[in-house]
Structure 1
Amino acid sequence: MLRIGILGAAGIAPAAIIRPAARRSDVRVVAVASRWAEPAQQFAERHGIDRSYGDYSGLLEDAEVDLVYNALPPSEHAKWSIAALEARKHVLCEKPFAMNTDEAAQMLEAARSTGYRLIEAFHDRYHPLSGEIDAVKASGALGEITMLRADFSSSNPFDPASLRHDPRLGGGSLMDLGCYPVHWVRAFMGEEPTVRRASATLNPLGADLSVSADMQFPSGATALLTSAMVERPQHLNSSLRVTGAEGSLLVNNLVFPSRGHSITLSKKGLDRTWTVHGLETYDHQLEAIVRALESGTQLPTEGTDCLSNMAVIDAIYLAAGVSR
């Protein structure tokens, strides 16, 4: 039985951990912690969780917690992920991994020194859709890759009270949304890009509402990455287009493929469109974590991958002239 404790009574927790755990017989959410006792208790009662804590340290001292799900704002990821590792807990940390590369490096060092696992919650990477994309690349059907275009944009009008719009808490479209496209293009190419130029529009608090970044990979392929928090209601786009010398690939809805997605391979004037079967991304992520903890197998969203993704985010902000 893998016993999970949640740091932060966050809105993402039911979809990301509570419901997937409830669909399994070998995982149980046993505790939740918030900064105050009452919200933690209410959250626990609402979701059938045994114990609640009015401070984060209480949960870390709980001997019956094996893995901590860090659902706190990005500004708290490093501090409490390191504390959890030092308390001899494995950690699943929400994306983005940290506030910057320096914090990410400190987190990885804590995982190395304690021997406990630290995993970034890029849940989409564990859906069969990601494997299908990898298979298209491996097949050679596209030929030499020349260009990638990745976008994640979503309806999220400016709200000064929202952590997603507060730069002090790790808000901004690149941190909240664009970290996914950064991961997609890195995973597809298997290389680390150089940021050639970038631009951003900022909200009144100084967080980016939109970002555009032009990047190049060592193999010569270029990538255009965009993210945006838009005013339009119900807007959601998460797409990846890859152009090669012999064909192109378009994938729609990489982030939530269980809600409907498509893969289109265009080659020699012919289009083939298909989908892959899968559960919700969070179910696949939890399955991968359970198996990896049993076997010791490295996961694709832990270790140096976390550091490399954060390094690209830092480089985009630097090129865009966004002070952080």
Structure 2
Amino acid sequence: MRIGTLGAARIAPAALIKPARSVPEVQVAAVAARDRSRAAEFAAKHGIPMVHDSYEALIDDPSIDAVYNPLPNALHAEWTIRALEAGKHVLCEKPFASNEKEARTVADAADKSGLVVMEAFHYRYHPLAERMASIVGELGEIEQIETALCFPLPRFSDIRYSLPLSGGALMDAGCYAVHLARFLGGGEPAVESARALLRKPQVDRAMTATLRFPSGASGRVTASMWSSHVLKIAARVTGSRGQMRVTNFIAPQVFHRLSYTVDGVKKRERVAGEATYTYQLRAFLSAVQTGEGNLTPPATSIANMAVIDEIYRKAGLSPRGMI
């Protein structure tokens, strides 16, 4: 499978180029950027054989089978749809779109095309994710689910603080926390309340939200790019029989902690595995070749964006792309 990347994004080496070295059936064959010199420099550094002058030229290249879309949030839907219309499968960085409505438009385009669209929630493809779900199944009646992704980003000129580009802490960090809460909660939650800390009008630097799952379990999501929660990447699930705690579900291959107590017996585990991005790329290849393996398809992306939109509304803000 020959894949081209739209833009020379900072995330591309970790998310695509390095994993491709471990998946020999995948070749990163082309890159395009609005600044050709930047694309050429990126290609030379990472051994990419082809440089295109524009995104259009890359997606129209008949030698390219699939497209990796790491563009700013506000461009995800547009260029994913364009790639689908050009007959390309798409691995799209999270968040999938600016809002639920856009996500539905992308999903409709994917259905019409019959091509694979995968949202790049890479943690979901690591064995740790399935182990977390398995342990939750041992905790009895689930009472509370808490997820958090907080990290410091004091570079306030960063595009992740740009409202026109659909930025904000909930979109960048919080989409992971929402996704994991939904995964562990086993159902689509209602948003009860939310509170934002703003960097500038309509742009959240931090967000907390309370959820209610169909089972009756409560939820709490915390996201931050600049707040008193300097660094927190964690999950805690409490049930009638015990509790599970996880630290660093995002990059468990680097470091993680997994502990749980069931009926008074406490255990700790380490789930071995490769980089999350390597598992994700293998799954994308499998989905393209066999139709199997896509754990983050458009339907789940729609559901995730629906929760994100409602959190923004409960916080007194507008969903991204709807201002």
Contact 1:152–1:177 (8 Å) recurs in 2: yes
Partner of 1:177: 173
Distance 2:29 2:16 in 1: 11
Offset of 1:19 from its aligned partner? 0.6
Residue 6 (str. 1) matches residue 5 (str. 2): yes
Aligned residue number for residue 316 of structure 2: 321
1:257 alignment partner, SS class: coil
Classify 1:64/1:236 alpha carbon distance in 2 versus 1 (closer, same or farther; 3 Å).
farther
3-state SS of paired residue (1:78)? helix
What letter is aligned with 1:135? Answer: S
Aligned-partner Cα distance in 2 for 1:171–1:304:
22
Q: CA RMSD in A?
A: 1.4
- Please state how far the C-alpha of 1:130 moved relative to its aligned partner: 0.3
Deviation at 1:284, TM superposition (A): 0.7
Count how many residue pairs are aligned between Structure 1 and Structure 2.
319
Give the TM-score normalised by the residue count of structure 2: 0.96
Residues 193-229 of structure 1, C-alpha deviation per residue, up to 9 Å, x if partnerless?
Answer: 0001101011125310000100101110010110011
CA distances 1:238-278 after superposition (whole Å, capped 9, x unpaired): 11100001100001100011111111111344321111110
What does 1:190-269 correspond to in 2, within 5 Å? Answer: 190-204=186-200, 206-230=202-226, 235-269=230-264
The alpha-carbon deviation at position 24 of structure 1 amounts to 2.4
Q: How does 1:76-87 map to 2 (within 5 A)?
A: 76-87=75-86
Q: Which secondary structure does the structure 2 equivalent of 1:169 belong to?
A: coil
Secondary structure at the aligned position of 2:244 is classed as: strand
SS in 1 for 2:253: helix
Residue identity over aligned pairs, in percent, reads 43
**Is the contact made by 1:150 and 1:226 (CA closer than 8 Å) also made in structure 2?**
yes
The residue type equivalent to 2:240 in the other structure is A
Residue 52 of structure 1 deviates from its aligned partner by 1.0
Partner amino acid, structure 1, of 2:249: L
Residues 16-65 of structure 1: per-residue CA shift (max 9 Å, x gap): 00011022221100000111211111111111101112211010111111
Q: 2:148 aligns to what SS in structure 1?
A: strand
- Partners of 1:145 and 1:92 lie apart in 2 by 33
Aligned to 1:123: 122
Structure 1 residues 235-314: aligned runs within 5 Å = 235-297=230-292, 299-314=294-309
Distance of 1:249 and 1:137 partners within structure 2: 7
Partner of 1:151: 148
- Checking the alignment, whether the CA contact within 8 Å between 1:156 and 1:231 is kept in structure 2 is no
Matched, 1:20 2:19: yes
- Secondary structure of 2:261's partner? strand
AA of the residue aligned to 1:156:
L
Deviation at 1:106, TM superposition (A): 0.6
- Please state how far the C-alpha of 1:303 moved relative to its aligned partner: 2.7
What secondary structure does 1:278 align onto? coil
Please report the TM-score for the alignment, with normalisation by the length of structure 1. Answer: 0.95
Asked if structure 2 preserves the Cα contact closer than 8 Å seen for 1:158 and 1:203, the reply is: no
Q: Which residue of 1 aligns with 2:48?
A: 49
